[in-house]
Chain A
């Protein structure tokens, strides 16, 4: 059947469009490395060695936990065409409450109840931090990009204040929270050194995939995202939807923060900002805003970042070189999307007049009319 054939063609198309930018970015990154006098093959080889081999994959999976949750958090709001860019503030506020309270709470109420209480608290704090932008957007249509960014800055600053005045570890001179006992941190998945938060992240990806693709809420969300006029027409309450989406997004970011602090770091230091959202953003789009689809991309980046940190130190580069690769992926993603959508529309890849300007000299040479 024709629809089936076009179906598989579209699937191939999606894979090609998702993988190509990564490949191109690695090639151009290699050229840059060559220009800097480094051996790109050795560099990329180092990444594989330090990110995958000899148990290093487990480090990558630990890193993947907050990144995947952050990715889902962004996917949910982005699908509704709402741009929650306040992830840093939301993450750090959730994190600082967990880091600040965990060492004192655990001896009092025990491990299990503490985990649950802290996760709920972190979710609540991060979600609450999205309320102001969400309400402004829902009520007045205020641009949420600006309000979330502003709220994020306030949140980041507030984190410092909270550490200084509330959660400061008296035993330390640097501004940071108390540190959790290693034994009190989230348990490992048996037989590994990966904490159970990883499973939570994977389950969350599957659950949200189901919600987005198979439930009435997911369909309403998609209609709301791609076509607000139609959403109003079929009776979807845009105010409620806006607020709900922001709360879900913030909540997932809070979950990421709680699992990350209790599973990996054990404390929160002032002026610390992992900026997970910034790094994960291009991959969210490469995955076409699909939670499960984002898993391989997040895994790729986690390996790349884990191995890349060591590789860049080994070859005497700044660790920021990884961000160069991420930026290159973004650039090539834009190009592939442009070319792809032009091809879908059956249009020329060049703007008409430019194409004409290019054609005319050739046409003159071959003696044909430019219009033919």
Chain B
């Protein structure tokens, strides 16, 4: 452990990528024994800053000093040497290995020293206040446990600075509390913690000091003294002003911005509907999907989706959500059960037939599945209508018709692109998501399956996406909202189904408070049985 006066200082860090300055002259001091919150929207430059600290990228300018000595962190190995451990947003555990094997992956040396590893794990478990069975397979761990193992892995070689990249985005409320406890323990051990989030209430709850980033710049800093001096409202207002800057009014004023930034508990924000008055449009009846080896399959899922309804499907990431979406979209075959659309059996129909009927799917992998990066925005907008008139006649493309349709959709959905001929990959994540929504919502859409629709988007686009989904439902469309963001589920859904290990483990009617806790309980309960 380092001395309590230890400081990791970033000085004037600048990193530019073609077309964007990800970090612009950012300076911050990270003190041992403090939790330093890094707050900012997606694309604000948090991840770049972290990858510089982790040795994944070198800054174009600026220095990093540890205890006053300038260091060059040229590789992840160097970062580990300096005691910098990172817990990435996505799990880096190998599912088929045990906990202990996962932890020993980074070890060098000829022989595996299992006894020493066990001792180290015990030590770390004590530190984190968690008990982890070293013999369990990583794939059998619950999500909270997985994260504890990830933290243990980051601190394996001894740590002075622990970086947690959006650690709460997929955790249940109670798991977040456990995490907060662990972080608190580590802090008191004299460790420096960088906690990255885009949720304001977490920053306030866990952080000793807060740095706010916007468009690559450091736009706000609240020192520990300020944090303890301010009331919660004052701190919030201060942070929000920094986060949104001039956009505060565009985001809909202070209250709306606070809502977007997750300052308060989420509540339902769609108008209530009487489910029984709306006919069922999509029905899954005991559907089991075929799966490839490493995928989580869907087992015996029964759902009914009514017209005008948003049905939330909550669950921990990787518990069969993609399988469920693909079974509805027709990308994956159902080996058992039936999928019915308007009462007609469509189990045997493929993607294109279901598309024609009006069953649409906005995939979560918008970069690699939802769009073809090398193709133009215009072609991406008609990607699911290849070969159909008026865009193709006798197999030959009619470019003016394609471009006209593209311009119409670009205007309607305010897709920001230099021209319809621009490569889709050149657009920002938010605009790519708009391409997907424009393509799926148009031309006779009746059922929309959305998988993590706002993942990684900036707050203004999140607002727009939510608005699109609500208005689609209000017009009589039906939405199957698959999401790992609890707030999103609670705000948008009329009813919530919980998925775990490919099975629907329960339903919650989203009226009144406590939905998140009920859903969370189901997620955990479902995780333990089977």
Show the binding face of A for B, using Cβ within 8 Å: 2-3, 214-217, 219-220, 222-223, 226-227, 229-230, 232-235, 237, 345-346, 352-353, 356, 369-372
CB-contact partner of A235 in B18, B351, B365, under 8 A: B351
For A352, the chain B residues whose CB sits under 8 A away are: 58, 74
Contacts of B397 in A (CB 8 A): 214-216, 219
Does chain A have a CB within 8 A of B372?
yes
Determine the residue in chain A with the shortest Cβ distance to B385: A234
Q: Could you tell me the distance between the alpha carbons of A215 and B398 in the complex, rounded to whole angstroms?
A: 9
In the complex, what distance in Å separates the CA atom of A2 from the CA atom of B419? 11
Given A227-B372, A353-B75, A371-B63, CB of A235 within 8 Å of CB of B330: yes
Which of A214, A235, A346, A371 lies in contact with B396, CB distance below 8 A? A214
With a CB–CB cut-off of 8 A, which chain B residues contact A346? 17-18
Contacts A220-B387, A233-B351, A371-B61 supplied; 17 other A-B pairs, CB < 8 Å: A214-B396, A215-B392, A216-B392, A220-B386, A227-B368, A229-B369, A230-B368, A230-B370, A232-B351, A233-B361, A233-B369, A234-B352, A234-B386, A346-B17, A352-B74, A353-B75, A369-B63
Number of A-B contacts (CB under 8 A): 85
Q: Are B386 and A356 in contact (CB under 8 A)?
A: no
Q: Which residue of chain A is the closest to B395 with respect to CB atoms? A: A215
* Bound Cα distance from A216 to B387, whole angstroms: 5
Cα–Cα distance between A234 and B386 once the two chains are bound (Å):
9
Given A345-B18, A346-B17, do A219 and B72 touch, yes or no (CB 8 Å)? no
Say yes or no: is B375 at the interface (Cβ < 8 Å to chain A).
yes
Task: Answer whether A234 and B418 are a contact pair too, CB < 8 Å, given A215-B397, A356-B74.
Answer: no
Of A215, A216, A227, A370, the contact of B72 (CB 8 Å cutoff): A370
B456: A residues at CB distance < 8 A: none
Please give, as numbers and ranges, the residues of chain A lying within 8 Å of B361 by CB-CB distance: 233
- Give the CA-CA distance A370 to B60 in the complex, in Å: 11
B59 at the interface (CB under 8 A from A): yes
> Which size bracket describes the interface of B in this complex?
35 or more
A354 CB to nearest chain B CB (Å) = 10
Q: How far is the CA of A121 from the CA of B282 in the complex (A)?
A: 51
8 tightest CB-CB pairs across the interface, nearest first? Answer: A235-B351, A216-B387, A235-B352, A346-B18, A229-B369, A215-B395, A216-B392, A233-B369
Choice from A214, A226, A370, A371 contacting B372 with Cβ under 8 Å? A226
Query: Are A230 and B58 neighbours in the complex by a CB distance under 8 Å?
Result: no
Shortest Cβ distance from residue A102 to the other chain B in the assembled complex, whole angstroms: 35
Q: Which of B323-342 touch A at CB < 8 Å?
A: 329-331
Q: What are 13 A-B pairs with beta-carbon distances under 8 A?
A: A3-B418, A214-B397, A216-B387, A219-B386, A223-B372, A226-B372, A227-B373, A229-B368, A234-B352, A235-B330, A235-B355, A371-B59, A371-B63
B363 on the A face (CB < 8 A): yes
Given the complex of chains A and B, what is the CA–CA distance between A369 and B12 in angstroms? Answer: 14
Cβ-defined contact, A371 with B395, below 8 A: no
Selected from B63, B373, B421, the residue in CB contact (under 8 A) with A3 is B421
Q: Are B384 and A230 in contact (CB under 8 A)?
A: no
Shortest CB distance B453–A (Å): 15
Contacts of A220 in B (CB 8 A): 386-387
A234 touches B63 (CB 8 A): no
Most buried by B among A227, A233, A369: A233
Q: How far is the CB of A246 from chain B (nearest CB, A)?
A: 21
A367 to chain B, nearest CB (A): 15
Q: Quick one: CB contact mask for B62-99 with A, threshold 8 Å, 1 for yes? A: 11000000101011000000000000000000000000
A214: B residues at CB distance < 8 A: 396-397
Question: How distant is the Cα of A346 from the Cα of B21 in the complex, in angstroms?
Answer: 13
* Residues B383 and A230 in contact, CB atoms below 8 Å apart: yes
A2, A226, A227, A346: which has the most chain B beta carbons within 10 Å?
A: A227
- Residue of B at shortest CB range from A371? B63
B350: CB under 8 A from chain A?
yes
- A232 to chain B: closest residue by CB: B331
Once A3-B418, A215-B397, A216-B392 are accepted as A-B contacts, the answer to whether A233 and B75 lie under 8 Å apart by CB is no
Given contacts A3-B418, A216-B392, A369-B63, contact A235 B368 (CB under 8 A): no
User: How many whole Å from A222's CB to the nearest CB in chain B?
Assistant: 8
B498 at the interface (CB under 8 A from A): no
Contacting residue for B350 out of A216, A217, A235, CB 8 A: A235
Separation of A100 and B75 alpha carbons in the complex (Å): 64
Per-position 1/0 for B374-385, Cβ under 8 A of A: 110001000110
- Contact check, A230 vs B386: say whether CB atoms are below 8 A apart: no
Shortest distance between the CB of A46 and any CB in chain B (Å): 43
B375 touches A223 (CB 8 A): yes
A346 to B365, alpha carbons, bound, how many Å?
Answer: 26
Which of A2, A232, A235: most chain B CB closer than 10 A? A235
Query: What CA separation (Å) do A3 and B418 show in the bound complex?
Result: 9
Q: Is B371's CB within 8 Å of the partner chain A?
A: yes
User: Does the CB pair B370–A216 fall under 8 Å?
Assistant: no
A205 to nearest B CB, angstroms?
18
* A356 to B57 CA separation, bound complex (whole angstroms): 12
Q: Please, which residues of chain B bring their CB within 8 A of the CB of A234?
A: 351-352, 383-384, 386
Set of chain B residues within 8 Å of A353, measured between Cβ atoms? 74-75
Contacts of B329 in A (CB 8 A): 233
Which residue in B58, B61, B365 is a CB contact (below 8 Å) of A229? B365
CB-CB contacts below 8 Å: B8-57 with A: 17-18
Chain A positions within 8 Å of B371 at CB level:
230
State A217–B394 Cα separation when bound (angstroms).
11
Complex alpha-carbon distance, A3 and B222, angstroms: 44
Once the chains bind, are B72 and A371 in contact (CB under 8 Å)? yes
